[in-house]
Chain A
């Protein structure tokens, strides 16, 4: 059945959980809903016109700009945010040490290779790189560049980010 949503509740499927969105204007972007309504501030808002990629999330397996998704139209879609890439152990407290032990190989490589400076673009890039390597475990340099061409970083000059991607590719290859 078609779902018609007025200014009442709708439910989104985010990081494997059903998350009700209550008392929200239905024209809000997914980015706004994630950050302001659902306490998921990982996706960042900068350009709000799909140019910077800092709000990148996965929607039904595609990397998309959450600022350009009307949240209410995302009912029925599987959404994964940067928070959802980590497989959390719910029995452990969220201390800094615990979180550090749970970060993904891509996140660790960004830290180790110096791919994080101011950090604003990082969550979007982490999602984009996970998306790339899930689909293509051994990308060429051009494929890496194209796949993150929608994510603007003004600090690093991208060199350290490419190094981080390459490091993940090599580690994953070795452990295959």
Chain B
């Protein structure tokens, strides 16, 4: 086994050319659990944590934000990122514990592509663009095309996920999740809701209730017909309830060791109802 610790993307591509089947790691919070429990024994590992160009983020001139794949969750909980991307800040705050948030990254969430990854519903709600780079080329993929299934994504083995770009929206946004306790929990069901006043649309994305994150397009378009998203200051309980019911219908949960499909379907409906109520009560 070899472990490479490149200091730049160029060096990382060299390492990747040398060991094409290497596992890429950022904070290590997923891979090390697998190693500690003897579920995998990787042959080669390339650690991306010291690549400075992946650990930065920037606000772009077209009202979008690009976040490097190595930016740890703790940086999204505070400051300008929290101000401009409140749903991402809320999701970041629910990731594991402070120790996990100091190590874990969006790049890791994307690389692992678990439907329970807390960053992913936010990226789906915001229609994020995922940036992939190889030695010779780079490409941008919509998050909807990037995540293919449970722990499956569209990254080619010669590519490194360098970051994501998301829009700064005008409108309320938030993230909510259900787990067996408050702190340090992998979600049983989660949801991200974002209102986009400029386009008079609402986006809701669900985590841990399907093989990929699920966008509830039917519930979204139904709600737009019930509510003027730009001027409404409150929402009828019956509309919020019906929105939750429609969201739940679009989930595709399964029974597993963390919960039952029935409970998950119920839970995402409640989360959606709560989120839309929060959006129109402040």
A residues whose Cβ falls under 8 Å from a Cβ of B: 1-7, 25-27, 29, 48-51, 53, 56, 59, 62-65, 67-70, 72-73, 75-76, 128, 146-147, 149-151
Q: In the complex the two chains form, what is the Cα distance from A39 to B36 in whole Å?
A: 20
Tell whether A147 pairs with B98 under 8 Å between CB atoms, given A3-B4, A27-B41, A27-B45. yes
Q: In the complex the two chains form, what is the Cα distance from A76 to B74 in whole Å?
A: 21
B residues whose Cβ falls under 8 Å from a Cβ of A: 1-8, 11-12, 14-15, 25, 27-29, 31-33, 35-37, 41-42, 45, 47, 49-50, 72, 74, 96-100, 102-103, 182-184
Interfacial chain A residues near B99, Cβ < 8 Å: 50, 53, 56, 63-65, 68, 128, 150
Interfacial chain A residues near B8, Cβ < 8 Å: 2
The answer on a CB contact under 8 Å between A69 and B45 is no
Q: A27-B3, A27-B41, A62-B102 are in contact. List 17 more A-B contacts (CB 8 A).
A: A1-B7, A4-B15, A26-B2, A29-B32, A48-B36, A50-B100, A53-B97, A62-B74, A63-B102, A68-B103, A69-B103, A70-B47, A72-B5, A73-B3, A73-B5, A149-B98, A149-B182
The answer on a CB contact under 8 Å between B32 and A67 is yes
> Can you list 7 A-B pairs, Cβ within 8 angstroms, ordered by A?
A48-B33, A64-B103, A67-B32, A68-B27, A68-B33, A72-B3, A73-B45
Interfacial chain A residues near B37, Cβ < 8 Å: 48-49
Contact of B98 among A4, A63, A68 (CB under 8 A): A63
Interfacial chain A residues near B182, Cβ < 8 Å: 149
The answer on a CB contact under 8 Å between A5 and B2 is yes
Number of A-B contacts (CB under 8 A): 123
Interfacial chain B residues near A4, Cβ < 8 Å: 2-5, 15
Q: Shortest beta-carbon distance, A112 to chain B, in Å?
A: 25
Nearest chain-A residue to B41 (Cβ)?
Answer: A27
The answer on a CB contact under 8 Å between A7 and B1 is yes
Nearest chain-B residue to A32 (Cβ)?
Answer: B36
Q: In the complex the two chains form, what is the Cα distance from A68 to B108 in whole Å?
A: 13
The answer on a CB contact under 8 Å between B103 and A65 is yes
Interfacial chain B residues near A62, Cβ < 8 Å: 72, 74, 102-103
Q: In the complex the two chains form, what is the Cα distance from A51 to B74 in whole Å?
A: 17
Nearest chain-B residue to A145 (Cβ)?
Answer: B183
Tell whether A73 pairs with B102 under 8 Å between CB atoms, given A3-B4, A27-B35, A50-B96. no
The answer on a CB contact under 8 Å between B1 and A27 is yes
The answer on a CB contact under 8 Å between B45 and A70 is yes
The answer on a CB contact under 8 Å between A5 and B32 is no
Closest 9 CB pairs of A and B: A150-B97, A73-B47, A62-B102, A149-B183, A2-B11, A72-B3, A2-B6, A48-B36, A68-B32
Q: Shortest beta-carbon distance, A91 to chain B, in Å?
A: 35
The answer on a CB contact under 8 Å between A69 and B97 is no
Q: Shortest beta-carbon distance, B75 to chain A, in Å?
A: 11
Nearest chain-B residue to A70 (Cβ)?
Answer: B28
Tell whether A70 pairs with B36 under 8 Å between CB atoms, given A62-B102, A147-B98. no
Tell whether A73 pairs with B33 under 8 Å between CB atoms, given A3-B5, A149-B98. no
Q: In the complex the two chains form, what is the Cα distance from A150 to B74 in whole Å?
A: 14
Contact of B3 among A26, A48, A50, A56 (CB under 8 A): A26
Nearest chain-B residue to A69 (Cβ)?
Answer: B28
Q: In the complex the two chains form, what is the Cα distance from A84 to B261 in whole Å?
A: 48
The answer on a CB contact under 8 Å between B3 and A5 is yes
Interfacial chain A residues near B27, Cβ < 8 Å: 68
Tell whether A29 pairs with B3 under 8 Å between CB atoms, given A64-B103, A150-B98. no
